[in-house]
Each structure stands twice: as C-alpha cells, then as structure tokens.
Copies of this chain bind each other. A is one copy, B any other.
Amino acid sequence: MIEYRTLRVALLGAGSVGSQVAKQLLEHGDELASRAGTRIELVGIAVRDVDARRDVDLPRHLFTTDAQTLILGADVVIELIGGIEPARSYLLQAINSGADVVTANKALLATHGPELFAAAEQVGAQLYYEAAVGGAIPIIRPLRDSLAGDRVNRILGIVNGTTNYILDRMDTEGDDLESALAAATALGYAEADPTADIGGYDAAQKAAILASLAFHTSVPHDAVYREGIEGITKEQIDSARKAGYVVKLLAICERILDPATGRDGVSARVYPALVSRKHPLAAVHGANNAVFVQAENAGDLMFYGAGAGGPQTASAVLGDLVSAARRHVVGGPGVAESTHADIPVLDIGSVLTRYQVSLEVADEPGVLARIAGVFSDHGVSVEVVEQSTPRSLGGEATPVRESPARGATLVIGTHEAPEAALAATVAALAANEVVTSVASVLRVEGA
C-alpha cells in the first residue's frame, strides 16, 4: 500500500463549474489521487451565500464565506468566482502563501495576467488555466509545452460558443440575428446581457491569452482590436454562402512584420470574417469551439471540442488539479510563464487582410471605373468584382457590365492589403457620390 501525502484543495466559487468540480472531486477523488500519486482532499468551498441554491447537492460542512482563512490552509486554490475582484486578491493571497492556483478566469488573466505570473514566479508557485480558453479543449498545454520548440505564426480561433451558435444558426436555419440570439438565450447559451459574447469582448480576452502564450510575449486585452457580430445581417450570411464562405467570429493572433522596424510584431484581433467552406473551421457547428494553429514546423493543427459548459470546464480544471498534485509530489518551484520574447503588439492598421465590400451604387455610366479608381488611389488591388441587382440578391450574381443597372449592388473582393489602406478605401467609398451605401464590409481569413 502506497502512503500518499495529502494535497489540500480549496475551491472558491460553486457556480455551474465550481459545483461540478466539487462533485467530481468528492465522487472520483480516489481515481484522481492514484493518477497524481497523492491523496487529494477538498478542504472547503468559499461562497458568498452558504444557503444559495446549487446545481449539485454538496455537503454543507464544506461551505464557508471566509475565503481568506480557507486559502491559508490550502496547497492548491481553485478560483472559479470569475470577474476581477475579489478573484484577483484571492489568487494573489494564495500565490503569496505558496499555493499553486488553478483558474478558469479569462477576464482576470487577460487584464492581470502579468501581475499574477510575476507573483507566482517570485515564490515558485504555478498558475494553471487550461479552462480559461476553449472549455475542455486542451489548448493551453499544447501551446505552452508541445509547441514550445516550434514557432507559431498564426492562430485562428472560434473561441466563443454563443456567437458560433448564432452565426451557425443564421447560416443553417436562415434566422436573422435577433431570432438566432433568442434561440441561444432559450438554450442557455447566451446570458441575459449578451454583450460580452455578441460584442466580441469574451473572444478578445481569449485572444489576449492565446497570443501571449503563442508568441511568448505579453499581450494585454486592451491591445486586442475588436468588432462584434451586432451588425451581421441575414443578407451577409446568405451572400457569403453563395460565394462559398461562412461567417465566423474569429480570434486571430498573428506574427506579422512591424512596418516601423521591419522586425517581428504581434497582432491580436477579433472580428466576424468570411471563411472558406473548405477550411476546417467552417465545419465547426453549434456552440462548439476550435482553435486552428499554424506553426513553422508543425504545419496546420486544429483543436476542436465543446468550448463551455459546467462538466466540460470542470474537466479542464481537474486536469490542472492533477498536474498541480503531480508537481506537489515532485516538489520544487513551478515553471515560469515564458514571456521573454517581448514582441511589440501592433495596431490593427499594420495588419494585412483582404476585404469583401458590398456597395449599393447609383445608376450612372462609368460607375465601375470610378469605384475602381477609389481602390487604386489607396493602393488596394481588386481581385474580383461581381454585380447583382437588388432583385437578384439571393439569386445568382450576374457578370459585371461597365454601367451597372439602376440600384445595382457591387461586391468587390480585394487582394491582401494593409488594414489602414482598406479602411481608408471604405471611408472614401462611403463618401463617394456614386455610392448610395456601403452595405457590407467583411474581412476574408484563413486563405
């Protein structure tokens, strides 16, 4: 009989993830313990209200409202409160008392990651956060460890299940944004206030975490360029389908050339983009997540699975707990977060992208020439132009004629160009008298 040391685990928070973690620990603690080589004891669960209703029935004696005392007696602290405070203070307290910490708190990592990593490094503690991005999908360890000997060039991530559900439903069911959102809310995918998801804020936090990891540098979440899906219309989804694309909200982390220095820079950005239906990301349906990684030697990799949910996120948290327990057996300081590369984070204007622009244009001779002139004036090269009349929208695009018919719609796809030039082109188009309106502007990614 092996004599195990005991790992004392404190849990902060008993929401949908926390209560699942507690349940699994109480039911399968022995199994986890034998995998880790140490006994694992859940010493307590700190909550605001001991009497609140929980998803799972848990022993009442484990609950406490005194998080700080609970943390003091723990070898590992699992933080599942969410938000910035008091989560940040509790984690710093835990780290400073020498405990390893496990968290699923993307908002906290995206805003105070460097502070937490520095505190952990100082005392030799380890911070685990596999659950912070992509729910149960292992993506943190692969980037941090498996790809540590490679050079990641680009990440395209579907990292927000709510928006993927909505966009997928608009594509497959023909819903408009409003009714797709209502369906997501009814299924519990969207929260009462869906701004964090719809506005791309959640995805931007995850982009900051992924970019920091992938490029071994520190990318604050407010350096992530962000657009949400609020403006996405049924018409855009339909046109995309006809052109062989699907619209996905992407978190993009890219190693690009800094035009100012000619050296490596990092771009992290979130926006809805057109993705070819042949791209592996196009097959990610419903509320699923996937992270597509392009590395110098490894080539194209993809990690796919459920991006949220209590049991799913608990799986990632418990995997981190077993890692912490194994480390506890071995002893010694934790591995410091690798941010040595210190690559500058560049503005969206420096990024090279491709635009697809739909314009409603006046019925005048020479319109196409004038539109084309606006693109060339900004140094943007046009790849393809298609014309369709309003009535044919939803039908086949018709070939371009020099003089568009009354109230025609032009769909213009560009070659790759600097984002700043593309944005300036669109502004100039909007101001041009032959343009009735700019109906849609979407970037094309993943080509």
Q: Which residues of A contact B (CB under 8 A)?
A: 20, 24, 28, 31-32, 34-37, 130, 135-138, 141-142, 145-151, 216, 280, 283, 295-306, 309, 311-312, 314-323, 326, 329-336, 338, 340-341
Contact = CB atoms under 8 A, between A and B. Distances in A.
A305 B280 CA distance: 11
B137 A319 contact: no
Contacts of A34: 216, 338, 340-341
Nearest to A283: B283
Given A137-B301, A295-B315, A338-B35, A145 B283 contact: no
Contacts of A130: 146
A31 B31 CA distance: 39
Contact of A37 (B137, B146, B321, B336): B336
Contacts of A319: 145-150
A274 to B, nearest CB: 19
Contacts of A338: 34-35, 37
Contacts of A280: 283, 304
- Between A309, A321, A323, the greatest number of chain B beta carbons within 10 A of the residue's beta carbon is seen for A323
Contact of A136 (B299, B311, B318, B330): B299
B300 A312 contact: no
Given A148-B32, A341-B34, A297 B322 contact: no
Contacts of A298: 135-137, 305-306, 311-312, 315-316
A135 B142 CA distance: 13
13 contacts: A34-B216, A34-B340, A35-B148, A35-B340, A37-B338, A137-B298, A145-B319, A148-B318, A296-B315, A297-B318, A299-B306, A299-B309, A330-B332
